[in-house]
Structure 1
Amino acid sequence: MYASKIVEKAKSFIGVKENPPSSNDVVFNRNYYGRIVRGSAYPWCVTFIWDVFRLAGASTLFYNGQKTAYCPTLEGWGRSQGLVVGKNSGTDGDIVLYDFKGRGEATHAGIIEKNNLDGSYTTIEGNTGINSDENGGTVMRRVRNTSVIRCIIRPKYLQEPVNTTKTPNTIKEVQEYLNEKLKGNLSIDGSFGPLTNKALIMYWQSVVGSGLSVDGSFGPKSQAAASMNNLKKGDKEELVRIMQMALICRGYSLKPYGADGSFGPASETVLKSFQRYNRLSVDGICGRKTWIALLK
């Protein structure tokens, strides 16, 4: 099952409400318990998620195909299965658990629709509302800051089919490429601002791997990883494309080839110009100092 299918199924229920209000009588609870249930003992943010996975034909991806309606139990399962990812690393289809009041345990849950790349997520949640985040009685699309997130669980989805995009040749095309790869929401405005730079770093971190947090911060750990990922003429890999996209964002032209992932003579010439301007060693090798200048 693809994460996109779970998100689409969750979106189809936006606007569904319990009836009567404040009763917890809702279709997701009826499906979960097999009968009509009402009262404060039956909150339904987790039963909503359970039902979404069930109706999408992916029950085994949620709590190993078993039932739970309790946020802490869901969190315990995610941690025991090694499915928890960093709070800044969430993407579409991930299950997000919240602790709004700092109680030390999860009290609400939802499904991430997209990472907004600004420290927030757009989510789809059951039993939420404008007047009560965790007991609002409605399926809604919400925007949540990472500060209220307790953990993020990533079910074992199949890898999404690759959508081929044209080779980036402009900042707008770089932004489109990053949106596709990160399932992000960058504005396609052709301006190399902080959010585009952050997304570029996040994509670099995700490609490098090595246990890096995909947080968009090019700190000491990322800089150390950069020293182990030198690029030179003749290399062909996604890191080359990231280097090329960074050069494009910094105002250097790679036309007609663009960010094609191939480190040829044209890329070497442009990289040397970048190094010369930034008073780096003009060796045509993208090493630690050059990576820092490109991404930090």
Structure 2
Amino acid sequence: MTTAANLIRIAAGEVGYAEYPAGSNGNKYGQWYGMNYVPWCAIFVSYCFDKIGLPLPIRSAKGFAYCPDGVSWFRNRGQWFYDARVGDVVFFCWRGDGIADHVGIVESVKSDGSIISIEGNTGVGNDANGGEVMRRSRTPGIILGFGRPPYTNPVASQTQASRPTTPTPTPPQREVVKVPPNYHKDLVDRLIGGKSDKAQKK
């Protein structure tokens, strides 16, 4: 069924999976999507939604591979929010420039506005390209916003009273940037085939 609970069940079942070999971006989600050896956080999210029969046809029938595409898609459909709900697609911005660097799935919401998310291609010390599926605790200051899919049983917001209705400002103690300045350019080059699979494996 296309429910938030089923999505969380699928995503949670993937926790612990790691790309192989480490640092290659080679993984089963990229194989499924047809675009392997590229950063795969968005592909992981797409995989989970496809598994519950609620694909996100953002760039293809299977989903999307570039985070900013997901942000635009949800915004254009009026499905973009700043209050977290379980099952939301959460987009992160590490540098405070308004561009999504990473994406995951909201598993739970805390009263202070922080969340527990399940994310693909993350890791301790490398938030955006860490090579594993993990549960991560995320604070509001790095959250760009939430895309809300049309589940058959929407989950009520747990934090509407405590979350702002405008984009979250950057807090004084912001999480350290863990992506290089040319991250988006390199990612786009790889997604459109600017670099060969052979080069990506090196």
TM-score (structure 2 length as normaliser): 0.74
Map residues 138-157 of structure 1 onto 2, 5 A cutoff.
138-157=132-151
**1:17 aligned to 2:15?**
no
Could you say which residue in structure 1 is the equivalent of 2:40? Answer: 44
Matched residue pairs, number?
161
Give the whole-Å Cα distance in 2 for the aligned partners of 1:99 and 1:118.
19
Moved more, 63-72 or 150-159: 63-72
Which amino acid letter does the alignment assign opposite residue 118 of structure 1? Answer: D
Which amino acid letter does the alignment assign opposite residue 30 of structure 1? Answer: Q
Q: CA deviation at 1:132?
A: 0.5
**1:111 aligned to 2:57?**
no
Could you say which residue in structure 1 is the equivalent of 2:30? Answer: 29
Give the whole-Å Cα distance in 2 for the aligned partners of 1:13 and 1:124.
9
Give the whole-Å Cα distance in 1 for the aligned partners of 2:144 and 2:50.
24
Once the two structures are superposed, what CA deviation does each residue of 1:182-220 show, in whole Å capped at 9, x if it has no partner? 5x5xxxxxxxxxxxxxxxxx5xxxxxxxxxxx2338xxx
Map residues 172-183 of structure 1 onto 2, 5 A cutoff.
none
Contact kept? 2:113, 2:162, Cα under 8 Å: no
Give the whole-Å Cα distance in 2 for the aligned partners of 1:126 and 1:77.
20
Runs (5+) with no aligned partner, structure 1: 161-179, 185-201, 203-213, 218-296
Contact kept? 1:97, 1:150, Cα under 8 Å: yes
Could you say which residue in structure 2 is the equivalent of 1:120? Answer: 114
Identify the structure with the greater strand proportion.
2
Contact kept? 1:119, 1:146, Cα under 8 Å: yes
TM-aligned CA distance change 1:181 to 1:69, over 3 Å: closer
Give the whole-Å Cα distance in 1 for the aligned partners of 2:57 and 2:116.
20
SS in 1 for 2:136: strand
Contact kept? 2:79, 2:147, Cα under 8 Å: yes
Contact kept? 2:89, 2:146, Cα under 8 Å: yes
Aligned-residue identity in percent:
34
Q: CA deviation at 1:66?
A: 4.8
Could you say which residue in structure 1 is the equivalent of 2:67? Answer: 71
Give the whole-Å Cα distance in 2 for the aligned partners of 1:5 and 1:150.
25
Give the whole-Å Cα distance in 1 for the aligned partners of 2:100 and 2:156.
30
Contact kept? 1:98, 1:106, Cα under 8 Å: yes
Map residues 247-286 of structure 1 onto 2, 5 A cutoff.
none
Give the whole-Å Cα distance in 2 for the aligned partners of 1:4 and 1:67.
20
Q: Which of these two proteins has the greater Rg computed from alpha carbons?
A: 1
Could you say which residue in structure 2 is the equivalent of 1:80? Answer: 76
TM-aligned CA distance change 1:144 to 1:150, over 3 Å: same
Could you say which residue in structure 2 is the equivalent of 1:215? Answer: 161
Contact kept? 1:53, 1:62, Cα under 8 Å: no
TM-aligned CA distance change 1:62 to 1:53, over 3 Å: farther
Identify the structure with the greater helix proportion.
1
Q: CA deviation at 1:46?
A: 0.2
TM-score (structure 1 length as normaliser): 0.51
Runs (5+) with no aligned partner, structure 2: 164-202
Could you say which residue in structure 1 is the equivalent of 2:84? Answer: 90
TM-aligned CA distance change 1:67 to 1:128, over 3 Å: same
Give the whole-Å Cα distance in 1 for the aligned partners of 2:48 and 2:156.
25
Give the whole-Å Cα distance in 1 for the aligned partners of 2:62 and 2:32.
14
Q: Which has the higher contact order (CA 8 A, sep 6+)?
A: 2
Which amino acid letter does the alignment assign opposite residue 43 of structure 2? Answer: T
Which amino acid letter does the alignment assign opposite residue 81 of structure 1? Answer: R
Once the two structures are superposed, what CA deviation does each residue of 1:230-273 show, in whole Å capped at 9, x if it has no partner? xxxxxxxxxxxxxxxxxxxxxxxxxxxxxxxxxxxxxxxxxxxx
Once the two structures are superposed, what CA deviation does each residue of 1:107-153 show, in whole Å capped at 9, x if it has no partner? 10000001111120000000000110111100000010111011111
